[in-house]
Structure 1
Amino acid sequence: MRVLLHYDMDHEEPGLDIVSCSEQDEERFAELLPDAEVIWHVLRPLGAADMDRAPKLKLIQKLGTGVNTIDLDAARERGIAVANMPGRNAQAVAETSLLLMLATLRRVVAFDARTRRGEGWPADRSLVGGELAGRTVGLLGGGEIATLLRGMLEAVGANVVYTSRTRRPGDPAWRELDELLRASDIVSVHIPLTDETHHLLNAGRLALLPEGAIVVNTARGAVIDEPALVAALESGHLGGAGLDVFEKEPVDAGNPLLALDNVVVLPHVAWLTGETWDRYFTVAAENCRRLARGDDLLHRVV
C-alpha cells in the first residue's frame, strides 16, 4: 500500500510503502499524488483539487485531531475516507499550554531579549513576573487535553474552572462561557474550530476578562479574533498572550502580535514531540492495515 507522508521526515512500517514529502514542496507533492492510496496528513490544507490528482486515494489519515484543514465534503463526494486520532497529542499539548502560561507570566520574551543584549538585571521596575499559584485559569473545553492540563494546574496551586458544550452537573468547576471569562486570570483555548467557535473570543468577550488577564491558545488560531486580541494587548487591558496557533499559518512576519514583548509565540508545534509521533504512527499504521482488510477504521470522520 502506497502511503504519502505529507511531512518532512522518514518513517518505515512493515508492509507499507511510505514516501515522504515536505509540506512546502508543492512540486514533489503533485508528483506523488497519482500513486497515493493513503495520505498521512498534518497541516497543509487538502482540497478537492488535490484529491482529483489522486485517483487511487482511499484514506486521508489526519496525524492529530483537528480536521478543519481537510475538505470533508470533497472527500465524501469522492468516496475517500477521513480519520483522525483524538487524544494522541494530548500530553504534549497540555504540557505546552502550561509552558506558554508560565512563559507569559514570567515575561520570558522580554527577559530573554534583555539578557541577549547583555543588560543583565532589569532596571525596569515594571518588568516583574507572576506565579500560577493562586490564579484562576479558565479552560475553554472539557476534553482530554483540558483534563490533563487541569491536573497539572491544580498541582501547582491554581484554581481551575472550565466550560464545555455539555453542562457537567455536579462539577463545581464548570461555568458558562461569559461567567468563566469574567473569573479567569488566564484563559486557555482547547476547542476545535467550527462555524460556531470561529472568533468565539471576539472583542466583546475579550473585554470580559479581568484587567491584566492572559490568553493562551494551542487549539486553532481563528477561535480568537486576532485584531481584537492585538487591540486588547496594545491597550493594556490584557497582560499578555501565549500563542501556538494563528488565523493565518505560517504566521506572517508582519503580524503585529510578533512585535509585542508580552506575547510568547510558537509555530503550531504544541503537539510536536517524539512521543506524539510514536503514538501517531501506531494509529496510522493500524488504520492502513484495517483499510487493507476491509475492517472498520479507528476514529473515522468521513
Structure 2
Amino acid sequence: MAGTTGASVTVLGDFAASAGLVASAQDERHWLEVVFPKRDEERRTEALSQANVIWHGLRPLGAADFDQAPNLKLVQKFGVGVDTIDLAAARERGIRVANMPGVNAPAVAEGAVMLMLAAIRALPEQDRRTRAGLWMKDIAYLERSREIAGLTVGLVGYGDIAKRIEQVLLAMRAKVVHTSTKPDGSEDWRGFDDLLAESDVISLHLPGTPNTRKLFDEAAFARMRPGAVFVNTARGSIVDEAALLAALESGHLAAAGLDVFEQEPVDPQNPLLGLRNVVVTSHLTWLTEQTNSRMLATAVENCRRLQRGEPFANQVV
C-alpha cells in the first residue's frame, strides 16, 4: 500500500466534532494535521484539496468530493455504517475505506435503552407537564406507562449493539427475543412477522441498505401489538415515517423513541416532532466521552498505518 512514509498526514474532519475530540486530535499535531471546517464550504473545499485522509461522519461522500481530493488515500468512518459513502466511486479511484466496528456499541446500546424507557414511561410528557406547573395533575395519560420488567422486547438485528441491549434488559427482567437474516439456533430467535406480533417493544439494529429500506411500512406496523412501543437508533431509511406517524396518531402504537430520521438533519416541521408520545434525539446516542476516545484512537492508528505504508485496520474497500 502506498503511504506517506516519514511525512505528516493531513486530515479533513468532515463533521462537527466536539471540543474534546478536536483538542485530543491536536495532541498529535507534530505529525498529524486535522482540519474541522464544520459548515464553512470554502474551507472544506480547500481542506479536501490537501487531505490524505477524511474522517467521515454522516454527510454523504461521493465522486464529486473524491475528485476534489487528489491526495486522498483513506476515508475513515467514525462509526460502523458506510451507507453514506459511495464505495464504488472510492474503489474506482483507489481510495480505501475503513470503519470502526463495535467502537460505539456501548453508547448506542445505552442510548437505545434510554429511549425505550423514556417512551414507555412517557418521559417527554412528564417533563413538559412538570415544567408547566401541572404537578400530579391530569395524570390519566400515565395509565399506559409500564415497567420494562415482564415486557417482551424484540430486537430487529442481532449484532454487538443488540446483544448488549439484551444483557441489560434481561437484568431488568424483561423477556428478549430477536430476529436476524436466518435462524441462529437460539430459542429466542423469531421470524420477522412472529417477532412483530409477540413484542411489546421493538428496537431496530439493522444497517441502512436497499434491502432494509422502509422495512417498517404500514403493513409492518399493523402486525405489531396494539399499544407497542417502537425504538429506532439504527437508520431512518428503514422506516416509512408516514406509516409510523399514522400508527402513533391512531393509538395503535403507544409511543416511539427516535434517534434517526429519513431526512437528516430532521426538518423542524416533521410531524413526528409534534407528537407528545414521541421522544427524540439527534442521531447522537453514540456520543459519549468514552466513544470519542475509542474513535480517536482507532482513527489515529490508521493514520499512523498510512504514514508507515501498512495495511489499514477494518478496511471495507
TM-score calculated relative to the size of structure 1: 0.97
Q: Which residue, out of 150, 161, 166, partners 2:177?
A: 161
Provide structure 1 residue ranges, at least 5 long, that are not aligned to the other structure.
none
Q: Secondary structure at the match of 2:142?
A: coil
Q: Does 1:221 align with 2:221?
A: no
Q: Counterpart of 1:150 in structure 2: which amino acid?
A: E
TM-score w.r.t. the length of structure 2 is 0.92
Count of matched residue pairs: 300
The corresponding residue for 2:94 is 79
CA distance in 1, matches of 2:152, 2:282: 27
Counterpart code for 2:75:
I
The residue that corresponds to 1:21 in the other structure is 37
* Alpha-carbon distance in structure 2 between the residues aligned to 1:29 and 1:175: 47
| Larger mean Cα displacement after TM superposition, 56-65 or 279-288 | 279-288
2:173 partner amino acid: G
How much does 1:17 deviate? 1.5
User: In 2, distance between residues paired with 1:277 and 1:194?
Assistant: 26
Per the TM alignment, residue 294 of structure 1 is displaced from its structure 2 partner at its CA by 2.2
* 2-structure distance, mates of 1:301, 1:97: 26
One-letter amino acid of the counterpart of residue 281, structure 2: L
- 1:77 deviates by 1.1
How far apart, in 2, do the equivalents of 1:115 and 1:2 lie? 50
Match of 2:148 in 1: 132
More moved, 182-191 vs 40-49:
40-49
Higher relative contact order, chain-length normalized (CA < 8 Å, sep 6+): 2
How far apart in 1 are the matches of 2:141 and 2:231? 22
CA RMSD of aligned residues (A): 1.1
3-state DSSP of counterpart to 1:288: helix
Counterpart residue number, 1:52: 67
Distance (whole Å) between structure 2 residues aligned to residue 176 and residue 79 of structure 1: 40
> Which secondary structure does the structure 2 equivalent of 1:194 belong to?
coil
Match of 2:117 in 1: 102
Map Cα deviations across residues 163-220 of structure 1 (whole Å, 9 max, x no partner): 1113211x11111111111101000000101111111111101111100001100010
Matching of residue 270 in structure 1 with residue 285 in structure 2:
yes
Shift of 1:265: 0.3
Partner of 1:7: 15
Secondary structure of the corresponding residue to residue 188 of structure 1: strand
Structure 2 counterpart of 1:288: 303
In structure 2, distance between residues paired with 1:61 and 1:44: 13
| Residue of structure 2 equivalent to 1:67 | 82
2-structure distance, mates of 1:166, 1:85: 25
In 2, Cα distance between the equivalents of 1:274 and 1:25?
A: 26
Residue in structure 2 matched with residue 201 of structure 1 by the alignment: 216
Quote the Cα distance in structure 1 between the aligned partners of 2:306 and 2:237.
Answer: 33
Q: Give the secondary structure class of the aligned counterpart of 1:258.
A: helix
The one-letter code sitting in structure 2 at the alignment partner of 1:167 is P
C-alpha contact 2:15 2:59 (8 A) present in aligned 1? no
Q: Deviations over 1:45-91 (max 9, x none)?
A: 11211111111111000000011111111111111101100100000
Residue type at the aligned position of 2:157: G
Give 3-state SS (helix, strand or coil) of 1:125's partner: helix
Q: Is 2:230–2:256's contact at 8 Å kept on the other side of the alignment?
A: yes
The structural deviation recorded for 1:293 is 2.1
- Shift in Å, 1:137: 0.2
Determine if contact 2:155/2:178 at 8 Å carries over to the other structure: yes
Identity among equivalent positions (%) equals 53
Where do 4+ consecutive residues of structure 1 move more than 4 Å?
none
Distance 2:212 2:201 in 1: 19
User: Is the deviation greater in 155-164 or in 25-34?
Assistant: 25-34
Task: Provide structure 2 residue ranges, at least 5 long, that are not aligned to the other structure.
Answer: 1-8
Question: Partners in 2 of 1:29 and 1:164 — Cα distance?
Answer: 40
| Alignment partners' CA distance in 2, 1:287 and 1:99 | 32
**How far is the alpha carbon of 1:299 from its aligned partner?**
1.1
1:26 Cα deviation from its structure 2 partner: 2.1
Give the one of 158, 165, 168 matched to 1:149.
165
How many Å apart are 1:25 and its aligned residue? 2.6
2:5 is aligned to none
Structure 1 partner of 2:194: 179
Deviations, residues 6-59 of structure 1 (Å, cap 9, x unaligned):
23341222521222221x332221121100000001111112111111111110
- Report the 3-state secondary structure (helix = DSSP H, G, I; strand = E; otherwise coil) of the residue aligned with 2:82: coil
Bigger CA drift: 184-193 or 121-130?
121-130
